[in-house]
Structure formats: structure tokens, C-alpha cells
């Protein structure tokens, strides 16, 4: 036990003994693992607040508004960041208890869908670690992202009742309760001042989770709002039943934060979602303002002291909400209020996909938020004057720039007009944001746009997920790489050191063996630990092209059947990921992968050569097990569609080589690691433009490439569906008729890249060298660097 922690561990022991009496046990020996988990978490939470708070920079307080925070398990992470991990591990040893087993008891709080939510979690970790004053604001969903299981190969969903009421890391903070109003009407008072007479009021209760900085004693809240009120409300009262086809009408107020909408990169049109969004914004803005005023600052000082960072457009309503409070409650003039808002809000865009850009039905918006609608109308009107001044009265231009258009409220446009900064999440994405989505806005506001490439926290994604690699890096690197990931550059110096190389290789093999055990346990599939572990783990979406991966697997299977004696480097293809419950085509792809896996895994000729493992219920804790074991990281989206990706960074830092298109952050990964250490393939954004201009016909590829045709026909002829030729029509018709994400166009190039991988793996030394250089050269992708970029380019920009 480290000297500095002796007192704290005495306190810890004291608490353990107290709980022991509390549970009427003779000795802690009798605790179940679940009890250990609860006792450790609760005790450490208390201990954390006993320490003097570490220093934070309060120049500007960052209020990070996000509908999703995919935080993952907190216990191990908090123990590490607080510096208690080793002490508590040693403490438990006296009771023959393994800390890792205790940590497995924690259910992941799955309060997000995918990359966007996980990014928010990494950013909170980095802000605390860098001492950037910050509060995360989200929702305290009762059900997180649904649980996924497979039945006959098909995804089935069930509710994720994650136990928010027993969760040991959060505390209810009754002094922060807020009131949120909906519906009703507005009455003019004077000038821009109105009185809102709402129809319904719901209470928002605050639940705080501690975000612990890495060994700096900084703790900041992630404040999650929970709707609570005994009242029920009738959704019909806002809209005479016109918007609620898919929703129940009589709803308990608590339903507002009952469930996370399971959509990723896709907008939701439902009224309850709009209410959720406003609830989130209203609680958060009120909290931010009251904190600001309680510190003794004036409203004029608000922009100097606060930033409200909008994680995509989901929290856009915070803008008209702050306007409303400033105008109606604080009686500021429009100019004063607008100036405060324009200097306080910043917007991060996470997608260019048109189907993901939020637009709300104007009537629904107006009925639910009549005062906010008036405010948006005025913002829109004043902006129109500005557009006319710049571009003349050009209807075509206005059609693109308007906030209100065609009876819709366009949230991205409201953000660009109102915010002082707009950023994309990787260089290529930020460039496309300007050139494709917002070119006229860029002409109007050339200095608003910038790039901040995403990052990941090395504390969770190396230290916690890959303890063996972490230890090797501790021994190799001078200075704490966990605080400054660029220090990993030093690893370049030992890339030719035999001992280091052997240790690095050994760690990867151990991690693969551990994943093999997990696969055996979950799928009863015994896999070849010496195969290339080729991993695609992410949400299922056509643009991410899991079906491109699948078609190659089928083609490989067919080739191996025809050429049983030819050389082939054994592969294990690992998939994990969920599809939105209403996204039938993505679910069809999941079904196809499972059925093909079943055939291949049961074919004795394929044993130890070609295997497919689809692990159900992808979540943060499962990612932590898969990532350290990967040899190949599949990042194969259609170029221009993946804004950044962050799994690509986690995998490459853990020594997987990327098989990817020039999309999102893959472009920057390639730049950092060097062309020789990454497998690039496929069309680029530029070559896609040419292809589409010439008229793309997927059928031509199908007809001209017998390998592609055979793979497609395997599914079309029912060979993976017991003879039923229609099972995969959804996917196949889309591919053959439109192929909107150019799967066929990239198929051949993808096959060639896979071929190169098979060859490259045979040269173990060269492969290992590439893997090590991936770890050494990707320090840029720490989320600490992302946060520093936010500071210098947006939050604290001079
Ligand atoms: N992203 Cl718009 C999501 O995870 N969900 C969404 O609804 C939207 C974006 C992702 C995006 O697809 C990835 O490319 C990014 O790396 C990630 O956000 C974080 O920026």
C-alpha cells in the first residue's frame, strides 16, 4: 500500500466493516461480489469528496449539452483516476477476492447509442483531467440503449432496465430541481416581452455522477435530469392527435425520461422526443444561469464566463430557451439577449447524412413551444434581412439558408446562425461541412467554421482496457503517457528492440486468447487463436457497410471450398453492433451475417481457417474486451459518410492495423502512421463524384465480376436461409437496384486489400513493426488533444 494512501485505506477498511455490520455479516468474507461492488463504489465516492478539490481553470465554464453520455462502467475507471486501484486490489486479496471480478458486477450505464455519446464521455474525462471547468448535462434515462440478443440469427431487443435507482455512483441533488413548461399560449406584454401561459409543467430532478480527473483530484458533475411529477399528460392536448400515430396518448410525466431513443445517425420525428429535447435544454439552461448568477456575475458577463457547447443539434432548443429567459424574465432587449446568445453557444456537427439532419414540423413545434416559436420566427426574419443584404433577394439561396422553410424548423440552420463557432469532427468532415453542407453560410460567416478532430481517452481505452500493454508502456516511456499521449513517440526508439517486440507480441497473443475464451463462453465457438482477428465493431448502418465485409467473407468461403489446398492465412472475423429497432435493412444485414456464420462455423473444412463470431449486445464493456485483441480494424464506410469514427482510433492505438477507406479520421490516421502501416482501399470522395456523374450501375459490377456475383447469389439462392430465396431481399434489392453506398463499386478493391493483409501477416516481424508503430504514432488521437483544440480554437480563442 502506498504511504500516501495509508490513512485513506484505513478509512476504507472502516467503511467496509461498517457495511459488514449493516448487512448483519460476521465478516466481509461473506460479501457477495455484488455487495463488494456496491460497498467499494459507495465508499470510494465518499472518499473522493474528502480530498481537497484539485485546481480547475474557471476562465470559461464549459457546459457540455448532450442527449447521450455513453459513460460505460465507472468503478474501475474512478479507482484508477483516484489512484486507489492497486490499494483496493491488495485489500481485497486478503479476502481472496479479485478486483476484476468485482468490477464485472457493474452493469454498463448505456445512456447513449454509439460514437456521439461515447465522445461526450471521453470529453468529460479529458476536461476533468486537464482541469477545464466543465459540467456535463444529459438525461437520466430509466432504460438505456436496448439489449440485443439473437433468435434464429435475427436481432431481438429487450429493455435495458439498468438499475438507475441502485446505481452507487450517483446522488440525487434536490436543490437543483427545475420546472419545465409545455404548450399553452403566449400573451404580448411589451416590445419583445411576452408572457407564456403554459398548459403543462413537469419537474426536472438532478442526478449527479462524479467525473474524476486523472490523478489530479478534480471532480466535476455529469448532471442528468429525470422527469418527475405525479401528473399524467395527454399528448393530444398539444396537437389534436395529428402527430401521435405511433405514440400512446396518455402518458405519465415520468415517461419523458423513460427511454433513450435508439436511433443513430437518423432523425426522429416524434413528439415525445421533441419534449425530451426541450426538457433537457430547459433544465440545463436554468441550472447554468442560476450557477452563473449565484457566483455574483451579471448577465452581461455571461458570455465571458460560460460556453454552452451543443453536441449535435439535439440540444438546439437551448438557444431559444436562453433568449426567452433573457427577454421575458430578465427584460433584456432583443439586441442584448441576442448578443449574449451569439457569444455563448457553439455547435458541433457530427454528420452530413441528410436523413440525420433534424427538422421539426412547424405546427408541432408551435403547439408545444409557442413562445420559442415566436423567437425562432424573429431570428429567422432578421437573418433573412442579412441574407438579402449579402446575396440579394434570391429565393434559391434563401431556400437553403432559411431556418423556417416549408413548414419545418431546421435545427442545423438555427445553430449555424446563432452560434459563434461551428466545428466538424475530423479534417475531411469539417472541409466537406463547408463545401457541401454550408457553403453559403461559410460565405456569410467565414470565421465561424473550424475543425476539431475527435479523440479518445487513453485512461479508459489503453490503461483500463489493456492493462498489459499499459504496463509495458509504463516501463518503456519516460513521463506519464496517460497524461500526454504524444510521449508514445518514444516507442519508436524500441521498435527494433527484441525484448520489447516479444513483449508486445506476447501481449497481443494473450489478449487474443482472452477474447477467444469470451467467444467460447458466449457463442460456444472455439476459435483459432493464431488466426488474424479481423474486427468490425460499431452500429449497423448501410453507410458503414458491414455487408461489404460479409460479401468478402462469403467469397472467401466459396474460394476455400474450391481451393481446399491453397495457402490462406486463417481469419477470424469478429462482428459486434446493434441496429436501430426500426431500421429493417440494417437488421437484415445482421441476420445475414449470423446465418453465414452458422454455415461457415459448422463446416469442418473451415475449422481453424475461416470463422465468424458475432458477439451480441455490443456495449462499452464488451468493446474493452475486443479492442485489445484485434489485429485488423475494419473502417470501411463509403468515403465522405463517416464524420470521424473513434473506434478506429481505439483499435489502432491498441495495435490493430486499419483496413479502411479515406474517410473520417482514417485520413489522419494514415497521415500519422504512414501509408506502409495501413491498408487503404476503395473510392475517394473525389473519385465517387466522377463515378456518380458517369451514372453508377451496381448491376454492371454484378454482371462483370463473377466473384461478386457468386457471393451475392449465395444469399439470393437461399443458401444461407434454408432455401428461402426471399430472406435477404431487403439488403439484396437495395444493393442490386441502387447500392446507395457503393458496396459493389468497392468490392474488388476491398478483396485486394484483404489479400494484401493475408500476405503481410505471414511476415511476423514486419507486421509486428507496423502494429508497434500504430501505437507509437497515434498519440494525437487522445481526447486531451481534442479538448486543447476546443480551448484554443473555440472556447478561449483570442
Ligand atoms: N454519430 Cl449524427 C453518432 O454516433 N450518432 C449520431 O447520431 C451522429 C453521429 C457519430 C459519427 O457517426 C461518427 O463518425 C463520429 O465519430 C461520432 O459521432 C463522434 O463525433
Please give the CATH number for the structural domain made up of 63-71+103-179+205-226+265-354+415-454+788-794: 3.40.50.2000
- Side-chain half-sphere CA neighbours of 170 within 13 A: 23
Cα 661 to ligand 1 centre (Å): 17
Angle between helices 75-82 and 85-93 (to 10 degrees): 110
The pLDDT assigned to 241 comes to 43
Phi, psi of 567 (to 5 degrees): -70, 140
pLDDT at 237 over 90: no
Mean pLDDT of 698-712: 98
pLDDT at 701 over 50: yes
The 10s digit of each residue's pLDDT in 659-688 is 999 999 999 999 999 999 999 999 999 999
Q: Which atom of ligand 1 is nearest to the CA of 263?
A: 7
- Return d(Cα 300, Cα 322) in angstroms, integer: 13
Q: Which atom of ligand 1 is nearest to the CA of 351?
A: 2
DSSP state of 464: I
Q: How many CB atoms lie within 10 A of CB 191?
A: 10
Grid cell, residue 710, equals: 457468386
pLDDT at 530 over 90: yes
Q: What is the CA radius of gyration of the chain?
A: 27
From the CB of 423, is ligand 1 less than 6 Å away? no
Which protein residue has the closest C-alpha to ligand 1 atom 6?
Answer: 265
The pLDDT assigned to 229 comes to 77
Q: Which atom of ligand 1 is nearest to the CA of 349?
A: 2
The SS3 call for residue 106 is coil
From the CB of 642, is ligand 1 less than 6 Å away? yes
- Return d(Cα 288, Cα 286) in angstroms, integer: 6
The pLDDT assigned to 250 comes to 72
Site of grid cell 473510392:
683
From the CB of 112, is ligand 1 less than 6 Å away? no
pLDDT at 23 over 70: yes
From the CB of 43, is ligand 1 less than 6 Å away? no
Active centre residues (catalytic):
350, 538-539, 544, 646, 650
- Return d(Cα 31, Cα 9) in angstroms, integer: 19
The SS3 call for residue 328 is helix
What band does 246 get if pLDDT is binned at 50, 70 and 90? Answer: very low
Mean pLDDT of 543-562: 98
From the CB of 350, is ligand 1 less than 6 Å away? yes
pLDDT at 710 over 60: yes
The SS3 call for residue 98 is coil
Give Cα separations from 64 to 221, 304, 495, 730 (angstroms): 11, 16, 40, 39
The pLDDT assigned to 252 comes to 82
Mean pLDDT of 323-336: 98
Site of grid cell 411529477:
229
Q: Which atom of ligand 1 is nearest to the CA of 117?
A: 4
Cα 315 to ligand 1 centre (Å): 15
Task: Indicate if ipTM > 0.85.
Answer: yes
- Return d(Cα 750, Cα 237) in angstroms, integer: 54
Cα 615 to ligand 1 centre (Å): 22
- Return d(Cα 468, Cα 476) in angstroms, integer: 13
Answer whether 386's CB lies under 8 Å from 444's CB.
Answer: yes
Distance of CA 163 to the CA centre of its chain: 21
From the CB of 635, is ligand 1 less than 6 Å away? no
Answer whether 631's CB lies under 8 Å from 657's CB.
Answer: yes
From the CB of 138, is ligand 1 less than 6 Å away? no
Q: Which of 66, 265, 638 to mutate to test the pocket of ligand 1 (most atoms within 8 A of CB)?
A: 265
Grid cell, residue 735, equals: 444493393
Q: Which of 115, 266, 661 to mutate to test the pocket of ligand 1 (most atoms within 8 A of CB)?
A: 115
Cα 36 to ligand 1 centre (Å): 36
Per the prediction, the chain carries an average pLDDT of 96
The 3-class secondary structure across 165-187, one letter per residue, is CCCCCCEECHHHCEEEEECCEEE
Mean pLDDT of 237-258: 65
Give Cα separations from 703 to 488, 697, 736 (angstroms): 49, 10, 10
- CA angle 15/620/160 to nearest 5° reads 80
Element (DSSP H or E) covering residue 601 = helix 584-601
Q: Reply yes or no on domain 526-760 having CATH 3.40.50.2000.
A: yes
pLDDT at 1 over 50: no
From the CB of 115, is ligand 1 less than 6 Å away? yes
Q: Which of 67, 69, 116 to mutate to test the pocket of ligand 1 (most atoms within 8 A of CB)?
A: 116
- Which residue blocks in 271-369 are alpha helix, DSSP H? 271-294, 302-305, 318-324, 334-344, 362-368
pLDDT at 239 over 50: yes
Sorted by sequence, the CB contacts under 8 Å of residue 194 that are 6+ apart come out as 186, 187, 188, 327, 328, 371, 374
CA dihedral 755, 713, 548, 736 (to 10 degrees): 130
Grid cell, residue 279, equals: 426538457
pLDDT at 436 over 50: yes
The 10s digit of each residue's pLDDT in 577-592 is 999 999 999 999 999 9
Site of grid cell 460565405:
443
- Residues carrying CATH 3.40.50.2000, the chain: 63-71+103-179+205-226+265-354+415-454+788-794, 526-760
From the CB of 645, is ligand 1 less than 6 Å away? yes
DSSP state of 557: H
- Return d(Cα 55, Cα 130) in angstroms, integer: 10
Altogether, the residues listed in the chain come to a count of: 798
E-state strands within 192-297: 193-197, 200-212, 219-228, 232-234, 250-252
Sorted by sequence, the CB contacts under 8 Å of residue 65 that are 6+ apart come out as 137, 138, 280, 281, 284, 308, 309, 310, 311, 315, 318
Cα 371 to ligand 1 centre (Å): 31
Cα 587 to ligand 1 centre (Å): 19
- Return d(Cα 529, Cα 559) in angstroms, integer: 22
From the CB of 643, is ligand 1 less than 6 Å away? yes
From the CB of 351, is ligand 1 less than 6 Å away? yes
Site of grid cell 476459435:
527
Answer whether 443's CB lies under 8 Å from 451's CB.
Answer: no
The 10s digit of each residue's pLDDT in 739-769 is 999 999 999 999 999 999 999 999 999 999 9
DSSP state of 199: S
The pLDDT assigned to 244 comes to 41
- Which residue blocks in 51-74 are alpha helix, DSSP H? none
Taking Cα atoms as reference points, which of 38, 789, 21, 35 lies closest to residue 426?
789
Cα 115 to ligand 1 centre (Å): 5
Taking Cα atoms as reference points, which of 200, 407, 418, 201 lies closest to residue 317?
418
Grid cell, residue 689, equals: 463524384
Answer whether 245's CB lies under 8 Å from 269's CB.
Answer: no
Answer whether 659's CB lies under 8 Å from 634's CB.
Answer: yes
Cα 137 to ligand 1 centre (Å): 18
- Return d(Cα 578, Cα 148) in angstroms, integer: 7
The pLDDT assigned to 3 comes to 53
Instruction: Report the percent of the chain where pLDDT is more than 90.
Output: 95
Cα 408 to ligand 1 centre (Å): 23
Q: Which atom of ligand 1 is nearest to the CA of 425?
A: 20
The 10s digit of each residue's pLDDT in 35-87 is 999 999 999 999 999 989 999 999 999 999 999 999 999 999 999 999 999 99
- Return d(Cα 706, Cα 713) in angstroms, integer: 10
Grid cell, residue 12, equals: 476504507
E-state strands within 362-478: 404-405, 408-410, 421-424, 449-451
Q: Which atom of ligand 1 is nearest to the CA of 353?
A: 2
- Return d(Cα 344, Cα 304) in angstroms, integer: 8
Taking Cα atoms as reference points, which of 297, 169, 279 lies closest to residue 221?
169
From the CB of 663, is ligand 1 less than 6 Å away? no
Which protein residue has the closest C-alpha to ligand 1 atom 7?
Answer: 265
Cα 412 to ligand 1 centre (Å): 15
Mean pLDDT of 107-113: 96
Q: How many CB atoms lie within 10 A of CB 515?
A: 24
The 10s digit of each residue's pLDDT in 187-214 is 999 999 999 999 999 999 999 999 999 9
Strand 632-635 relative to strand 657-660: parallel, antiparallel, unpaired?
Answer: parallel
The pLDDT assigned to 2 comes to 54
The 10s digit of each residue's pLDDT in 347-396 is 999 999 999 999 999 999 999 999 999 999 999 999 999 999 999 999 99
Amino acid at each position: 500500500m502506498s504511504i500516501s494512501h495509508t490513512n485513506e485505506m484505513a478509512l476504507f477498511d472502516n467503511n467496509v466493516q461498517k457495511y459488514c455490520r449493516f448487512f448483519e455479516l460476521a465478516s466481509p468474507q461473506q460479501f457477495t461480489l455484488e455487495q463488494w461492488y456496491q460497498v467499494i463504489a459507495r465508499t470510494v465516492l465518499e472518499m473522493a469528496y474528502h480530498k481537497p478539490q484539485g485546481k480547475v481553470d474557471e476562465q470559461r465554464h464549459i457546459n457540455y449539452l448532450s442527449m447521450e453520455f455513453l459513460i460505460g462502467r465507472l468503478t474501475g475507471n474512478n479507482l484508477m483516476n483516484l489512484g486507489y486501484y492497486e490499494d483496493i486490489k491488495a485489500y481485497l486479496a486478503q479476502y481472496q477476492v479479485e478486483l476484476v471480478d468485482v468490477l464485472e458486477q457493474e452493469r454498463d450505464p448505456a445512456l447513449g447509442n454509439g460514437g456521439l455519446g461515447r465522445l461526450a464521455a471521453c470529453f468529460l474525462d479529458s476536461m476533468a483531467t486537464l482541469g477545464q471547468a466543465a459540467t456535463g448535462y444529459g438525461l437520466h434515462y430509466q432504460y438505456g440503449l436496448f439489449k440485443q440478443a439473437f433468435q434464429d440469427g435475427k436481432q431481438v431487443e429487450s429493455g435495458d432496465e439498468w438499475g438507475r435507482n441502485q446505481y452507487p455512483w450517483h446522488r440525487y441533488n434536490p436543490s437543483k430541481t427545475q420546472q419545465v413548461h409545455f404548450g399553452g399560449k403566449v400573451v404580448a406584454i411589451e416590445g419583445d416581452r411576452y408572457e407564456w401561459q403554459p398548459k403543462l409543467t413537469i419537474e426536472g430532478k438532478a442526478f449527479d455522477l462524479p467525473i474524476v480527473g486523472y490523478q489530479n483530484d478534480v471532480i466535476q458533475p455529469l448532471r442528468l435530469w429525470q422527469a418527475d411529477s405525479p401528473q399524467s399528460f395527454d399528448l393530444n392536448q398539444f396537437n389534436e392527435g395529428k402527430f401521435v400515430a405511433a405514440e400512446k396518448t396518455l402518458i405519465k410525466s415520468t415517461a419523458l425520461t423513460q427511454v433513450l431513443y435508439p436511433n443513430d445517425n437518423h432523425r426522429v420525428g416524434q413528439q415525445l422526443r421533441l419534449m425530451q429535447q426541450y426538457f433537457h435544454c430547459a433544465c440545463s439552461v436554468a441550472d447554468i444561469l442560476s450557477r452563473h448568477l449565484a457566483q455574483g456575475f451579471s448577465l452581461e458577463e455571461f458570455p465571458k464566463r460560460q460556453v454552452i457547447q451543443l453536441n449535435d443539434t439535439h440540444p438546439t432548443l437551448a438557444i431559444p430557451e436562453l433568449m426567452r429567459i433573457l427577454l421575458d424574465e430578465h427584460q433584456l432587449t432583443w439586441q442584448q439577449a441576442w448578443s449574449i446568445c451569439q457569444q455563448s453557444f457553439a455547435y458541433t456537427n457530427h454528420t452530413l447524412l441528410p436523413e440525420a439532419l433534424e427538422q421539426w414540423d412547424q405546427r408541432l413545434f408551435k403547439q408545444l413551444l409557442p413562445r420559442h416559436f415566436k423567437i425562432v420566427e424573429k431570428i429567422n426574419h432578421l437573418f433573412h434581412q442579412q441574407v438579402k443584404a449579402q446575396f440579394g433577394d434570391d429565393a434559391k439561396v434563401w431556400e437553403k439558408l432559411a431556418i423556417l422553410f416549408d413548414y419545418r424548423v431546421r435545427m442545423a440552420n438555427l445553430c449555424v446562425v446563432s452560434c459563434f463557432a461551428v466545428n466538424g469532427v475530423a479534417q475531411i468532415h469539417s472541409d466537406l461541412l463547408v463545401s457541401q453542407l454550408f457553403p453559403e453560410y461559410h460565405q456569410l460567416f467565414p470565421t465561424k467554421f473550424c475543425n476539431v478532430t475527435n479523440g479518445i481517452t487513453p485512461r479508459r481505452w489503453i490503461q483500463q482496457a489493456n492493462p498489459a500493454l499499459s504496463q509495458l508502456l509504463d516501463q518503456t516511456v519516460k513521463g506519464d503517457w496517460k497524461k500526454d499521449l504524444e510521449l508514445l513517440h518514444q516507442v519508436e526508439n524500441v521498435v527494433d528492440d527484441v525484448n520489447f517486440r516479444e513483449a508486445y507480441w506476447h501481449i497481443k497473443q494473450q489478449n487474443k486468447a482472452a477474447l477467444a475464451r469470451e467467444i467460447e463462453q458466449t457463442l460456444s465457438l472455439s476459435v483459432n487463436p493464431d488466426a488474424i482477428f479481423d474486427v468490425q465493431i460499431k452500429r449497423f448502418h448501410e453507410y458503414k457497410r458491414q455487408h461489404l465485409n460479409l460479401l468478402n467473407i462469403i467469397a472467401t468461403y466459396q474460394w476455400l471450398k474450391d481451393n481446399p489446398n491453397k495457402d490462406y492465412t486463417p481469419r477470424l472475423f469478429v462482428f459486434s453492433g446493434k441496429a436501430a429497432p426500426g431500421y429493417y435493412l440494417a437488421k437484415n444485414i445482421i441476420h445475414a451475417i449470423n446465418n453465414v456464420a452458422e454455415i461457415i462455423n459448422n463446416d469442418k473444412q473451415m475449422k481453424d481457417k475461416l470463422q465468424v463470431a458475432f458477439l451480441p449486445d455490443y456495449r462499452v464493456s464488451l468493446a474493452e474486451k475486443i479492442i485489445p485483441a484485434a489485429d485488423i480494424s475494419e473502417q470501411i464506410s463509403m468515403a465522405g459518410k463517416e464524420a470521424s469514427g473513434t473506434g478506429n482510433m481505439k483499435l489502432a492505438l491498441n495495435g490493430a492495423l486499419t483496413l479502411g477507406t479515406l474517410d473520417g479520421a482514417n485520413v489522419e490516421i494514415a497521415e500519422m502512421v504512414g501509408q506502409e502501416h495501413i491498408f487503404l482501399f476503395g473510392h475517394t470522395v473525389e473519385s465517387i463524384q466522377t463515378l456518380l456523374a458517369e451514372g453508377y450501375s451496381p448491376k454492371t459490377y454484378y454482371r462483370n465480376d463473377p466473384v461478386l456475383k457468386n457471393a451475392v447469389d449465395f444469399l439470393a439462392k437461399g443458401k444461407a436461409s434454408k432455401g428461402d430465396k426471399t430472406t435477404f431481399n431487403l439488403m439484396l434489392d437495395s444493393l442490386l437496384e441502387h447500392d446507395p453506398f457503393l458496396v459493389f463499386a468497392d468490392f474488388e478493391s476491398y478483396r485486394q486489400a484483404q489479400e494484401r493483409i493475408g500476405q503481410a501477416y505471414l511476415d511476423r516481424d514486419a507486421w509486428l513493426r507496423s502494429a508497434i508503430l500504430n501505437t507509437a504514432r497515434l498519440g494525437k488521437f487522445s481526447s486531451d488533444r481534442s479538448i486543447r483544440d476546443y480551448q484554443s480554437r473555440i472556447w478561449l480563442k483570442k
